[in-house]
Structure 1
Amino acid sequence: MQDNFAYLLPFIMFTFGVVFLGLQAIGFRPGRYWGLGYILGAAGFALPMVLPEGFDLFGALLADFLFLAAFVLYGHALLVQFGAPTYVRVRLGAAIAAYLVVCFFILVQPNLRNELATSDMGLALLLAPSIFLVRRKIRNLMDKVLLAAASLVVAETLMRVGIFLWFTTGSSPESVGAYFTSDYSYLAQFTASICGFLMALSVLGSAIADVIEQHRLEADHDPLTGLLNRRGFDLSAPDFRLTPLPSGAVLICDIDHFKSVNDRFGHATGDRVIIALASLLKETLPASAKVARFGGEEFVAYVPDMPAAQLAILANMVRSAFAARNWSEGPFPVHITSSFGISAIALGDHSIHDAISRADGFLYRAKEAGRNQVVQEGLALLGVTPAASLKVVAS
Structure 2
Amino acid sequence: MAGAGFILAINLFIAALFALAFFLVGVSNRADKVAPFFSLAYVFGILYIASEFILPRQDYPQFAYTAGFAAFLGAVTAVTLGVARRYARPLPWVGVGVIVIVSVAANWFGYTLPHDTVERNLIYQTPYAVMQACAAWIILASRRRQPIDIGLVALFALSALQFLSKPFAAVLLGGSGDSTYTYLATTYALYSQSLGAILQVATGLLMLMLLVRDMLVEITARSETDPLSSVYNRRGFEERAAPGLQQASVPAALVLADLDAFKAINDNYGHDTGDQVIVAFAALLRDTAPPKAVVGRLGGEEFGVFLPGANLAVARLLAETLRTGFAAQSVAGLPPFVRCTASFGVAERMDGESLSGLRRRADAALYTAKRDGRDRVAVAGDPHADAMPAHPLAGTSLAKSA
State the TM bucket, normalised to the shorter chain.
0.7 to 0.9
**1:286, 1:168 → 2: CA distance?**
65
Q: Among 120, 140, 161, which residue is 1:155 paired with?
A: 161
- 1:256 equivalent in structure 2: 260
Q: Is the 8 A contact 1:362 1:376 kept in 2?
A: yes
Provide the TM-score with structure 2 as the length reference.
0.85
Structure 2 counterparts to residues 30-69 of structure 1, below 5 A: 30-50=34-54, 52-69=57-74
Partner in structure 1 of residue 330 of structure 2 = 326
Aligned pairs, number = 378
Task: Decide whether the 8 Å contact of 1:146 with 1:206 is kept in 2.
Answer: no
Given the alignment, which residue of 231, 242, 258 partners 2:235?
Answer: 231
SS at match of 2:232: coil
1:178 deviation in Å?
Answer: 7.8
After TM superposition, the structure 1 stretch with the greater mean CA deviation from structure 2, 196-205 or 45-54, is 45-54
Matched, 1:145 2:148: no
Q: C-alpha deviations, 1:82-114, integer Å up to 9, x for none? A: 1111121221121111111111123xx444344
Does the CA contact (< 8 Å) of 1:117 and 1:165 recur in 2?
no
Rounded Cα–Cα distance in structure 2 between residues aligned with 1:179 and 1:42 = 19
Q: Which moved more, 1:193-202 or 1:257-266?
A: 257-266
Contact 1:156 / 1:192 at 8 angstroms: preserved in 2?
A: no
**SS of 1:233 mapped into structure 2:** helix
Q: Is the 8 A contact 1:24 1:31 kept in 2?
A: yes
2:343–2:369 Cα contact (<8 Å) kept: yes
- Counting aligned pairs with the same residue, the percent is 26
> In structure 1, the residue corresponding to 2:350 is in which secondary structure?
coil
CA distance in 1, matches of 2:100, 2:319: 55
Partner-residue secondary structure (3-state), 1:292: strand
Q: Structure 2: where are the runs of 5+ without partners?
A: 383-397
Q: Does structure 1 conserve the Cα–Cα contact (< 8 Å) formed by 2:84 and 2:91?
A: yes
Give the superposition deviation at 1:125.
Answer: 0.9
Query: How far apart in 1 are the matches of 2:45 and 2:132?
Result: 14
Alignment of 1:248-327 (within 5 A): 248-327=252-331
- Correspondence list, 1:1-395, <5 A: 1-27=3-29, 28-50=32-54, 52-106=57-111, 109-112=112-115, 113=117, 114-137=119-142, 138=144, 140-164=146-170, 174=178, 181-239=185-243, 242=246, 244=248, 247-327=251-331, 330-333=333-336, 334-347=338-351, 349=353, 351-377=354-380
Tell me how far 1:217 sits from its aligned partner. 1.5
Q: 1:268 to 1:111 in 2, by over 3 A?
A: farther
| CA–CA separation in structure 1 for the residues paired with 2:215 and 2:156 | 20
CA distance in 2, matches of 1:90, 1:227: 39
Shift of 1:263: 2.2
User: For the structure 1 residues 163 and 179, does the alpha-carbon distance in structure 2 shift closer, same or farther, using more than 3 Å as the test?
Assistant: farther
| Deviation (angstroms), 1:242 | 4.8
Could you list the runs of 5+ residues in structure 1 that have no partner in the other structure? 380-387
> TM-score under structure 1 normalisation?
0.87
* Secondary structure at the counterpart of residue 238 of structure 1: helix
Cα–Cα, structure 1 residues 101 and 331, in superposed 2: closer, same or farther, change >3 Å? farther
Mapped to 2, the partners of 1:240 and 1:125 lie a distance apart of 46
Report if the CA contact (8 A) 2:5-2:184 is conserved.
no
Q: Are residues 25 and 94 of structure 1, via their aligned partners in 2, closer, same or farther at CA, if it must alter by over 3 Å?
A: same
